[in-house]
């Protein structure tokens, strides 16, 4: 019988960094306040003392500079982990991420590998305004050559970060600031230093038969709460934790939709050209004839994030939004189309 314990997402990320740095001397961490301050969110706590300033590098506040150094180091066989204090600041370094890291393997005909991880908090936090509250999942998932991961639980954070560090290609690793302190149960297998999750594979967090709900990062928790509410009203929701945004696990999504015949997509980011739109198109292409109702898409409001707390809440998806969308999908499927015309 497997024993289980509780660890936070913060601890999961910290132990993953520690174990991968211990296992491979080519792995190093760089970014603002990752060393002496032990990380703005304490993800790198204890690493400077253990590995020294040559492998845990405090940088100036210049994302373009230290990201470019990281990409150059990856060209030469090292495995840098570049921490952004928030992914909003990655805008300062986007040329290095997209034009250098993402494209070099293709443009060199496979001669140059770029094993680098860009990681940090992504999406809405609380009370930090429009310039610090964007979700970059769709931005980076648009780019061939990048892999984009978005963990939800401690298991996700630990297993996916290890996979990202070991991967030969550049990986954008989107964490969520509001999840860092949340605790999740993990098994002894997850805590083993050899544990690693496959990139490109989603996880069915909850089995269901009436409606499929896809989500990633913090929205997985909201989807699970919505599923609990729906269950009390006789609706069985299947919740898929995407984990990997690029590559996207289309097979798992389509298999679920073929079973439930209904789909609700959930994301924090802007709706236009978003992850939900891509999932919807995948289902239209592969499983359209299985749909008994239109796809419901839940996303952030199509406006810059407001600063006021009441408006901020209205701008990001809530559990009630997911419940209502799932009910709409199930109700429309239950009513003959002639009756709704």
State pLDDT tens for residues 162-199: 999 999 999 999 999 999 999 999 999 999 999 999 99
Nearest to 101 by CA among 58, 138, 68, 63: 68
110 and 49 in a common domain: yes
Hey, what are 153's tokens? 């639980």
Average pLDDT over every residue of 237-256 = 98
- Annotated catalytic sites, by residue? 63, 132
Confidence (pLDDT) at 337:
44
CA distance 147 to 23: 23
Report yes or no on 336 lying in a domain: no
Residue ranges making up the domain that contains 154: 7-191
* Average pLDDT in the chain: 95
114 and 88 in a common domain: yes
Provide the CATH number for the domain around residue 120: 3.40.50.970
Tens-place pLDDT, residues 118-136: 999 999 888 888 889 999 9
Tens-place pLDDT, residues 26-71: 999 999 999 999 999 999 999 999 999 999 999 999 999 999 999 9
> Rounded to two decimals, what is the model's pTM?
0.94
CA distance 69 to 319: 42
Choose the final residue of a domain: 191, 219, 242: 191
- Cα 324 from chain centroid (whole Å): 24
Q: How many domains does one find in the chain?
A: 2
Provide the CATH number for the domain around residue 256: 3.40.50.920
Contact partners, residue 92, CB within 8 Å, separation at least 6: 62, 63, 64, 67
């Amino acid at each position: 019988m497997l024993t289980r314990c509780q660890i936070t997402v913060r601890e999961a990320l910290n132990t993953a960094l520690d174990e991968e740095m211990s296992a491979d001397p080519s792995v190093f961490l760089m970014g603002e306040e990752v060393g002496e301050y032990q990380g703005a969110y304490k993800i790198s706590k204890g690493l400077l003392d253990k590995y020294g300033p040559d492998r845990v590098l405090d940088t100036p506040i210049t994302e373009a500079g230290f990201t470019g150094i990281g990409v150059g180091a990856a060209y030469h066989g090292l495995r840098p982990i570049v921490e952004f204090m928030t992914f909003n600041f990655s805008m300062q370094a986007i040329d290095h991420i997209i034009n250098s890291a993402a494209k070099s393997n293709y443009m060199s005909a496979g001669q140059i590998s770029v094993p680098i991880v860009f990681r940090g908090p992504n999406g809405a936090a609380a009370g930090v305004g429009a310039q610090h509250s964007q979700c970059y999942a769709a931005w980076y998932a648009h780019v061939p050559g990048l892999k984009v991961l978005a963990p939800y639980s401690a298991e996700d954070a630990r297993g996916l970060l290890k996979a990202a560090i070991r991967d030969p290609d550049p990986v954008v690793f989107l964490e969520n600031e509001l999840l860092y302190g949340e605790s999740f149960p993990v098994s002894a297998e997850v805590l083993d230093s050899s544990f690693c999750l496959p990139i490109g594979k989603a996880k069915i967090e909850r089995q269901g038969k009436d409606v499929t709900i896809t989500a990633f990062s913090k929205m997985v928790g909201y989807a699970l709460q919505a599923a609990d509410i729906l269950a009390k009203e006789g609706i069985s929701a299947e919740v898929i934790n995407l984990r990997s945004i690029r590559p996207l696990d289309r097979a798992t999504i389509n298999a679920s939709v073929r079973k439930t015949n209904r789909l609700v997509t959930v994301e924090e980011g802007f709706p236009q050209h978003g992850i939900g739109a891509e999932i919807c198109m995948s289902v239209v292409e592969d499983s359209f004839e299985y749909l008994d109702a239109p796809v419901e898409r839940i996303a952030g409001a199509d406006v810059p994030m407001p600063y006021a707390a009441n408006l901020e809440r209205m701008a990001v998806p809530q559990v009630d939004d997911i419940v209502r969308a799932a009910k709409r999908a199930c109700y429309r499927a239950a009513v003959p189309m002639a009756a709704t015309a």
